[in-house]
């Protein structure tokens, strides 16, 4: 019997086992006794009710905490993206010109990487604002490094291009 249980734990994910235990505790804690009698499980329920109740309370608390964590993460993610989008609207024209180095004129969208001189103040400012990030510690030449556009910034900029708020004609770029 122990080997069977061990094999089940080895082959099935722990979260699925915990959820199954939770469903069983819900069944034995909340189902009326008349149904349990019909299933001939009344003696089993009576014998192990204390364990079922403890498991039910603990696992309910666990799932409530898990749900609260997911909700908080979603709220924080929305706040982060909202704050970053506001930041993108306030950047200077010089910073916009540097960001436009990520623009792919053939595909008419922003790519993920570009090369900048590490000693450039605007690059440092964009990196500090977490709009771009250095992608490698190995230089191309002596002081030129590969930088990448943060995923949220790339998504936002491509969205703005699609909405027509960033217009690119030849070599001239206008932001609305």
Alpha carbons within 13 A on the beta-carbon side of 102: 26
Cβ(147)–Cβ(127) below 8 Å: yes
Say whether pLDDT at 166 is over 90: no
Say whether pLDDT at 132 is over 90: yes
- How many other CB atoms are there within 10 angstroms of residue 141's CB atom? 8
Report which of residues 31 and 5 the model is more confident about.
Answer: 31
CB-neighbour burial class of residue 36 (10 A; exposed 0-12, middle 13-18, buried 19+): middle
* 149: Cβ contacts below 8 Å, ≥ 6 apart: 99, 102, 110, 111, 112, 113, 114, 131, 132, 157
Per-residue pLDDT, 8:
76
Mean residue pLDDT of the chain comes to 87
Cβ(152)–Cβ(146) below 8 Å: no
In this prediction, residues 117-133 reach a mean pLDDT of 90
pLDDT in tens, 39-48: 888 888 888 8
Q: Residue 112 is encoded by which pair of tokens?
A: 């993920």
Highest mean pLDDT among 13-22, 73-82, 94-103: 73-82
- Percentage of the chain exceeding pLDDT 90: 28
pLDDT in tens, 70-85: 999 999 999 998 998 8
Per-residue pLDDT, 71:
97
| 176, 90, 150, 143: CA torsion to nearest 10 | 110
Q: Residue 38 is encoded by which pair of tokens?
A: 């019909």
pTM exceeds cut of 0.95: no
List C-alpha distances in Å: 135 to 96, 112, 113, 123, 148.
20, 10, 8, 13, 6
């Amino acid at each position: 019997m122990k080997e069977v249980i061990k094999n089940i734990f080895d082959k099935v994910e722990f979260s699925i086992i915990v959820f199954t235990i939770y469903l069983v505790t819900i069944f034995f804690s909340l189902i009326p006794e008349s149904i349990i009698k019909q299933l001939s499980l009344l003696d089993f329920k009576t014998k192990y009710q204390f364990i079922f109740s403890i498991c039910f309370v603990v696992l309910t608390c666990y799932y409530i905490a898990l749900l609260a964590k997911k909700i908080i993460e979603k709220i924080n993610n929305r706040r982060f993206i909202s704050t970053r989008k506001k930041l993108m609207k306030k950047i200077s024209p010089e910073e916009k010109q540097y960001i436009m180095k990520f623009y792919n004129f053939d595909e008419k969208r922003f790519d993920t990487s570009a090369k900048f001189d590490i000693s450039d103040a605007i690059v440092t400012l964009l990196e500090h604002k977490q709009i771009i990030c250095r992608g490698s510690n190995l230089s191309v030449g002596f002081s030129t490094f590969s930088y990448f556009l943060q995923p949220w910034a790339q998504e936002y900029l491509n969205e703005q291009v699609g909405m027509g708020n960033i217009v690119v004609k030849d070599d001239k770029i206008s932001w609305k």
